[in-house]
Amino acid sequence: MQGAKTLFDKIWSQHLVGRRVDGRELIYIDRHVLHDLHAPHAFEKLANAGRAVSRPDLTFSMQDHSVSVLPGRTDDTYAEGAAFVRAMREGSKRNNVRVFDLGDPEQGISHVVAPELGMVLPGATHAVPDSHACTVGGLGALAFGCGTTELEHILATQVIALSRPKRLRVNLEGKLKPYVAAKDVALHIIAHLGVSGGAGYAIEYAGPVVRAMSIESRLTLCNLTIEMGSRSGLVAPDDTTFQWLAGRPWAPEGAQWDAALAHWRTLPSDEGAFYDREVTIDCTQLDPQITWGTEPSQVTGVGGRAPELDDVEPTRRAATQKALAYMGLSPGAALEGLAVDRVFIGSCTNSRLPDLEIAAAIAKGRKVAPGLVAMVVPGSSTVKRQAEARGLDKIFTDAGFMWGESGCSMCASTNGDTAAPQERVLSTTNRNFENRQGRGVRTHLVGPALAAAAAIAGKIVDVRKLTGEA
């Protein structure tokens, strides 16, 4: 259809400021959120160049990557992180940027805090010097993960210089079974498209599965977009989005809310809009997913097995063999029943209140298996408070889980939280790369339901068996 535009096209064209001499397009960044692992370097470069932050009022600093999550933490609880936390604080203050610091009641992981406070809005652009910036696409925002020099560029100019990506729509058909959630859907999509299948595209997730999802689930879905190589993933905003945002502290209110709402209703893709590629995936038969290898695409249903080498494409055999050896698995090994050493529930992927509620429902009245270490790290101090108001912390600690302060913790493992070599970890995070959670650590990515079930059983188990629903 002539003139029909996708959600992505609409946000891109509204934010297109100009075209540089080298052909790059300048896209205005409405909300720029920084974190302690990379921002200190950018602040320093900016100071050395004698440049100021262009829009400190649209820029926010989160202390999340190098912070301890131990109760009563200070800057120095994780000694190696203290320099980052302090440099972040000082750089932010020097540039009049609001810091969500340790002790701030709204501190947390940037990709959790920005949506929950209503800072990020449908149709807005968003940048974070972190590849999981794509998370906030769940609200219908267009987000870009970026490097440190790009971060400095945005600080100085409030725009990012990009080549326009292509458009890919992923239609998710059907209805999810009980205990199957956004994480499982996302892992399944990655298995389908491959770890570089999204490269060069902005991905729009659509279809009845997405429409039925809560905002927290959409944030989880979009979070894993980068694991297919795509910088941006987004979901068209709808009434679920608007109801979720209404009344959030940084969202517009009054007449401005009404005007915003009218604008947001124009954002969904037009009928007949052009996509460079379209993929349809039926999710009806999907089971809870678990990764068996060292890439998020190496995934199967919880009742599944690691692949037999004969079933793998010849070009992938060596890599598969290497992944299996790293994971301590034989070809064709069943995943169910493998002993688990550690469980981590948290991260920008799965640390929002509904994630914790799912895990708590499984943990309630049960005990963590002897010898297993289980951690729950809320995605933000706000989530932590809300969970405590519902008594979830008590359920977890009674069961033997550790209940932490908010931060990235064992997702990036840049705060000292790691597992021991060869430990098998069930983790609700986003990367099962070699050594991601510590040297030799065997990470299986799962959703919160499988993670909690494994903590109780002491082994990989189909949560539906544990709860008597299968």
Residues 32-51 binding other proteins (CB under 8 A) are: 37-38, 40-41, 49, 51
Choice between 295 and 462, CB closer to other proteins: 295
Number of residues that bind other proteins (CB under 8 A): 79
Distance CA(3)–CA(175), nearest Å, equals: 33
Identified binder of other proteins from the candidate list 90, 253, 282, 469, rule CB under 8 A: 253
Closer CB to other proteins, 335 or 412, in the complex: 412
Among 174, 207, 208, 252, binds other proteins (CB under 8 A): 252
Q: Does 328 bind other proteins (CB under 8 A)?
A: no
What is the rounded distance in angstroms from the CA atom of residue 380 to the CA atom of residue 253?
24
Q: Which residue has the tokens 């920084």?
A: 34
Pick from 9, 250, 386, 458 the residue near other proteins by CB under 8 A: 250
Instruction: Show contacts with other proteins in window 424-453 (CB under 8 A).
Output: 431, 433-436, 438-439
Closer to other proteins at the Cβ: 200 or 354? 200
378 belongs to the binding site for other proteins (CB under 8 A): no
Q: Cβ(351)–Cβ(383) under 8 Å?
A: yes
Of 84 and 396, nearer to other proteins (C-beta) is 84
In whole angstroms, what is the distance from residue 198 CA to residue 146 CA? 16
Specify the pairing of strand 402-403 against strand 373-376.
parallel
User: Is 345 a binder of other proteins (CB under 8 A)?
Assistant: no
H or E stretch covering 59: strand 59-62
The Cα-based distances of 305 to 21, 177, 334, 433 in angstroms read 53, 20, 4, 19
For residue 221, the minimal CB distance to other proteins (Å) is: 19
In whole angstroms, what is the distance from residue 391 CA to residue 183 CA? Answer: 25
Nearer to other proteins, 168 or 463 (CB): 168
Query: Among candidates 66, 92, 70, 90, which has minimal Cα distance to 80?
Result: 66
Interface residue with other proteins among 91, 108, 129, 268 (CB under 8 A) is 129
Site string for other proteins, 284-323 (x = CB under 8 A): -----------x-----------------------x----
Which positions from 153 through 212 interact with other proteins, judged by CB under 8 A?
153, 156-159, 161, 163, 165, 195-196, 199-200
Contact 47, 58 (CB under 8 A): no
Residue 419: CB partners within 8 Å, gap ≥ 6?
A: 341, 342, 410, 425, 437, 438, 441
**230 lies in the site for other proteins, by CB under 8 A:** yes
Q: Which is nearer to other proteins, 58 or 361 (CB)?
A: 58
Min CB(116)–other proteins separation in Å: 13
- CA end-to-end span of the chain: 47
Measured from the CB atom, the residue of 263 and 390 that comes closer to other proteins is 263
Query: For residues 283 and 206, what is the distance between their CA atoms, to the nearest angstrom?
Result: 12
- Is residue 152 within the footprint of other proteins (CB under 8 A)? yes
